[in-house]
Structure 1
Amino acid sequence: SKSSYDNLLENTVLRSPISGVVTARNYDVGDMYAMSSPIYTVQQISPVKLLVAVSEADYTKVSKGDKVKVIADALPGEEFKGSVIRLYPIMDAASHTFNVEVQVANTSARLRPGMYARASLNMGDTNSIVIPDAAVVKQQGSGQKLVYVLNDDSTVDARVVTLGRFFDDKYEVVTGLSEGEKVVVKGQSLLKSGDKVEVVK
């Protein structure tokens, strides 16, 4: 009957519970369907969400609703605007960072799930000590960050530092260094505290 035909036809239509883009088709016509496997994968791309790792020193400066600038590595020269929608209260013990969730409208649909992006939050102006990324030695296992500080007698000392914001290949130093101290930026893997070095300018 026509009613039975209509019911069968209705069962051949797949409806997504969300608006989005089909990012995977797992079956072709004639394939045997397994109940545990989705036929299509649909992802929402407007808006998109970004998880940002924020240092413990900066976490208290971030609030829900703060404006965020987002730049994706795959889209050089393009800037997207977002806002903080959630702050997660649990700190990652290894990196000493908190996750902050940012939502970007993405009305142009240029951003796609899985893209690597960088986020900038305005936390006010502060006077900080900054060092090049190349100066930082990351200890495996402990997660500690070290720098080698140059003494007046040309020897070096390994110093544990707490790092804050990262920008333009530089780290903000929260604790562990004083203004004016010099750090080694090359060959640190060969050094230990007390070693004497030759300064090359």
Structure 2
Amino acid sequence: MKKIFSLCALAASVIVISSCNKHETYADQLDRENNAINSYIIKNKINVISQEQFASQNNTTDTIKNQYVLFPNSGVYMQIREKGTGDFIKSGETARILIRFSEYNILTGTIQLSNNTLLWSSVVDKISLTNFKGTYTASFNNASSLMATVYGSTSVPSGWLVPIPYLKIGRLIHSSSKLAHVRLIVPSQQGQANATHDVYPCMYDITFQRGLE
């Protein structure tokens, strides 16, 4: 019952955010979003690097310098906290991936959704991820996904797939094993359904783990 009430509260908060945008043009919303992202970057002293510098660093970001790489084609900023100790998703492979995440609404400055909390700790978002010749597609398992339940879509945000080519996704099978871990700044057009509709950016803290086949 408590979880049902919490889901209703989350849905209500989504409606509130939506109602704030009725008198803005789309151009106004995009300007507001860009300003919010830039302010977040400045406030958090993020060091933005180019894809060229990222490649020269062996596709890594220096967390001590708080580096995030900007992908201009998508507008997504990515910080790799940990590449992981598993394997890359190979071309032609479909893998089951288990995700822990926290979603921070950059406009409101609040945690909007997370399965890292005690209330939702039993829910691990499951996705089916396919690599088709370097193009990645994924969908949530509707029976086990907080994102799909709250936002009403099994589509995995495009922004979540940006890190996949650079991560070795595995399981915690040894004491030295590490989960792939990233932080992302995701603009609305690369985000979940509500962010796309209402034009707001989110910051995500995400870990990826391979599920059992």
Tell me if both proteins adopt one fold, taking TM over 0.5 as the criterion: no
Q: TM bucket by the smaller chain? A: under 0.3
Which has the bigger relative contact order, CA under 8 A and spacing at least 6? Answer: 2
| TM-score, normalisation: structure 1 | 0.19
Specify which structure has the higher proportion of helix. 2
Specify which structure has the higher proportion of strand. 1
Which of these two proteins has the greater Rg computed from alpha carbons? 1
